[in-house]
Amino acid sequence: MAPAGRPGAKKGILERLESGEVVIGDGSFLITLEKRGYVKAGLWTPEAVIEHPDAVRQLHMEFLRAGSNVMQTFTFSASEDNMESKWEDVNAAACDLAREVAGKGDALVAGGICQTSVYKYHKDEARIKKLFRLQLEVFVQKNVDFLIAEVSLHVEEAVGCGSLKESDRPVAVTMCIGPEGDMHDVTPGECAVRLVKAGASIVGVNCRFGPETSLKTMKLMKEGLERAGLKAYLMVQPLGFHTPDCGKEGFVDLPEYPFGLEPRVATRWDIQKYAREAYNLGVRYIGGCCGFEPYHIRAIAEELAPERGFLPQASEKHGSWGSGLDMHTKPWVRARARREYWENLLPASGRPFCPSLSKPDD
């Protein structure tokens, strides 16, 4: 199957999902740009869209070439409570960068809204909704195609995103929860129900947990919606790390967070498996979050190429299931040019004195 584009007028996010089309999200910005020297760990605020726009543009382009259908604005923590006077300029610049790159392919622009610092300490509903509306005003002015509210650990706060329906943009809401539910023990199924009742058209999970754990949570969300007789499109964007040992708050409690996570990085073959399992579960918006590199997104696009009907541009230099190794001079390396080899490989970490699992600090 040859790489190809998608000509013609762009369909909206709900139109794509309603037709059964697979929508591929993008991946890691904060963690990746921190590694590249453009983001400071700690507050994880996205000044890079103004200070280093070329770096952000390049990462958007890498995700687009890898197969992403959505350019999400790099606006994590870009709200008034986190950035004071800079937040509005950051949101506007992030929209411009995402729109510029989206215009080079069949991609939509999603305005990204994350949790506030207000809920955890004050639970001030009016203040939370005001913060959401302030970001929303910029996104409406910049004419984003739809909205993604993400990274909330509390369904009560996430439901506040219902105020985003005041715009005419479709709203997706994803939570940072595992199979145990939110921080108040609200189950994933009940979280999904509340989000749909609040006005979300697309619901799911993102960040904090790896692919396997996130798919378990998605299954519980789907079952909750079915029991309630509600319908919504499903979306999953997990970490690009394996985290079977993390606690309820996810990978932030692991001792390796954030600077020692590299041994946990998922392989491209792990991500192909994740993409297939997500698709079989009925999820049609499939992407990634922290640690999810462009080659991971390419793995999703390659695994689901039969359903999508084409390969991404980034596959031009990538043989399916290692087929490019057929040309290697060593016969034992040529023997690895097959799907069975990579599907069954148990990769070593090369660290003989390191444990396979950690104990969360919290």
Average pLDDT, the chain: 91
Output the pTM of the full model.
0.94
Tens digit of each residue's pLDDT (9 = 90 or more) over 36-47: 999 999 888 889
Label residue 251 left, alpha or beta by phi (over 0 means left) and psi (-120 to 50 means alpha).
alpha
CA distances from 307 to 279, 284, 348 (A): 10, 11, 33
Tell me what pLDDT residue 130 has: 76
Contact between 309 and 20 under an 8 Å Cβ cutoff? The reply is no
Taking the C-alpha atoms of residue 155 and residue 221, their distance in angstroms, rounded to an integer, is 13
Token pair of 123 as six digits = 């639970």
- Whether residue 169 has pLDDT greater than 90: yes
Tell me what pLDDT residue 8 has: 47
Tell me what pLDDT residue 5 has: 44
Residue 246 is labelled as binding a ligand: no
Tens digit of each residue's pLDDT (9 = 90 or more) over 18-32: 999 999 999 999 999
Taking the C-alpha atoms of residue 135 and residue 103, their distance in angstroms, rounded to an integer, is 22
Residue 161 is labelled as binding a ligand: no
Q: Indicate the helix (H) or strand (E) that contains 235.
A: strand 233-237
- Whether residue 7 has pLDDT greater than 50: no
Token pair of 321 as six digits = 């299931």
Contact between 102 and 118 under an 8 Å Cβ cutoff? The reply is no
CA distances from 306 to 82, 188, 274 (A): 43, 31, 16
Closest of 42, 7, 61 to residue 297, by C-alpha = 61
Residue 290 is labelled as binding a ligand: yes
Domains of the chain: 13-318 (3.20.20.330), 323-361 (no CATH)
Residue 227, judged by CB atoms within 10 A of its CB (0-12, 13-18, 19+), counts as exposed
Taking the C-alpha atoms of residue 113 and residue 100, their distance in angstroms, rounded to an integer, is 20
Rg (alpha carbons) of the chain, rounded to whole number:
20
Tens digit of each residue's pLDDT (9 = 90 or more) over 197-238: 999 999 999 999 999 999 999 999 999 999 999 999 999 999
